[in-house]
Amino acid sequence: MTDTGRRLDRRGFVGLTAGGLLLPGLVRAQGIAPATEISAHERSLYDAAKKANESATWYVSHYTSETAEQIGRAFEATYPGIKANVVRTTAQVAYQRLTQDMRARVRNCDVFSSTDIGQYTTLKTDGQLEKYQPQNLRFLFETFQKASDPDHFYWVTSAGTVLINYNTRHVSAADAPKKWTDLLDPKWRNRIAVGHPSFSGYVGNWVVAMRLAYGWDFFKALEKNKPQIGRSINDTVTMLNSGERWVGAGPGATTQNSASKGNPLAIVYPEDGTLLMIATTGIMKSTRNPNAARLFVEFLMGKRTNEIHAANFTDTTRPDVPPYPGAKDLATVKLLRPTDAEIEKGIPEIRELWRDTFGV
Tens-digit pLDDT profile for residues 139-165: 998 888 988 999 999 999 999 899 999
Let me know: does 161 contact 252? Beta carbons within 8 Å: yes
3-state SS class at 244: coil
- β-strands 192-194, 247-251: how paired? parallel
pLDDT of residue 7: 32
**Structural domain boundaries of the chain?**
34-159+278-329, 160-275+340-355
Matching fold, domains 34-159+278-329 and 160-275+340-355: yes
pLDDT of residue 2: 33
DSSP 173-197: TTTS-SSGGGGGSGGGTT-EEE--T
Residues of the chain with pLDDT under 50: 1-20, 22-25, 28-35
pLDDT tens, position by position, 253-299: 889 989 999 999 999 999 999 999 889 999 999 999 999 999 999 99
List residues bridging with 161 in a β-sheet: 276
CA 223 centroid distance within chain: 25
pTM given for the model: 0.74
pLDDT of residue 50: 97
pLDDT of residue 26: 55
Let me know: does 239 contact 228? Beta carbons within 8 Å: yes
List residues bridging with 58 in a β-sheet: 86, 111
pLDDT of residue 126: 96
CATH superfamily, with its number, for domain 160-275+340-355: Periplasmic binding protein-like II (3.40.190.10)
CA 72 centroid distance within chain: 17
Q: How many CB atoms lie within 10 A of CB 163?
A: 22
Class of domain 34-159+278-329 (CATH, top level): alpha beta
For 152, the enclosing helix (H) or strand (E) is: none
pLDDT of residue 138: 96
List residues bridging with 165 in a β-sheet: 248, 267
Let me know: does 187 contact 340? Beta carbons within 8 Å: no
pLDDT of residue 327: 85
Q: Measured between alpha carbons, how far is 155 from 157 in angstroms, rounded to an integer?
A: 6
